Amino acid sequence: MVAPRILVTGGAGYIGSHTAKLLRLEGIEPVVYDNLTTGNRSAVRWGPFVQGDILDGRRLIEVIEAHQPDAVIHFAASAYVGESVADPAKYYNNNVRGTLSLLDACRQTGVDKVIFSSSCATYGVPAVLPIDEATPQAPINPYGKTKLVAEHMLADYAAAFALNYVSLRYFNACGADPEGDLGEWHDPETHLIPRALMAAAGRIPHLEIFGEDYDTPDGTCVRDYIHVADLASAHVLAYRHLAKGGGNVALNLGTGRGFSIKEVLRTIGEITGHDVPVVFRRRRAGDPPALYADAGLACRTLGFLPRYSDLETIVRTAAPFFGLEVRS
Ligand X SMILES: O=c1ccn([C@@H]2O[C@H](COP(=O)(O)OP(=O)(O)O[C@H]3O[C@H](CO)[C@@H](O)[C@H](O)[C@H]3O)[C@@H](O)[C@H]2O)c(=O)[nH]1
Ligand Y SMILES: NC(=O)c1ccc[n+]([C@@H]2O[C@H](COP(=O)([O-])OP(=O)(O)OC[C@H]3O[C@@H](n4cnc5c(N)ncnc54)[C@H](O)[C@@H]3O)[C@@H](O)[C@H]2O)c1
Active site residue ranges: 143
Which one of the spans 32-40, 81-89, 105-113, 208-216 is the region binding ligand Y (CB under 6 A)?
32-40
Residue 75 interacts with ligand Y (CB under 6 A): yes or no: yes
Give the closest residue to 170 by CA, choosing from 264, 268, 289, 291: 291
Among 28, 71, 114, 173, binds ligand Y (CB under 6 A): 173
Instruction: Decide if 295 contacts 255 (C-beta within 8 A).
Output: yes
Which one of the spans 10-18, 188-196, 235-243, 252-260 is the region binding ligand X (CB under 6 A)?
188-196
Give, for 288, the enclosing helix (H) or strand (E): none
229 binds, among ligand X, ligand Y, none (CB under 5 to 8 A by kind): none
Which one of the spans 7-15, 265-273, 290-298, 318-326 is the region binding ligand Y (CB under 6 A)?
7-15
Residue 191 interacts with ligand X (CB under 6 A): yes or no: yes
- Of 5 and 195, nearer to ligand X (C-beta) is 195
Give the closest residue to 118 by CA, choosing from 136, 89, 145: 145
CB atoms within 10 A of CB 249: 18
- Min dist CB 174 to ligand X, Å, is 8
- Give the residue ranges of DSSP H helices in the chain: 14-25, 57-67, 81-86, 88-91, 98-109, 142-160, 192-200, 228-243, 261-272, 296-302, 311-318
39 binds, among ligand X, ligand Y, none (CB under 5 to 8 A by kind): ligand Y
Alpha carbon distance 35, 44 (integer Å) = 12
- Min dist CB 86 to ligand Y, Å, is 17
Residue 77 interacts with ligand Y (CB under 6 A): yes or no: yes
- Min dist CB 74 to ligand Y, Å, is 7
Residues 93-112 that bind ligand Y (CB under 6 A): 94, 98
94 binds, among ligand X, ligand Y, none (CB under 5 to 8 A by kind): ligand Y
Instruction: Decide if 232 contacts 306 (C-beta within 8 A).
Output: no
Which phi and psi angles does 34 have, rounded to 5°? Answer: -155, 145
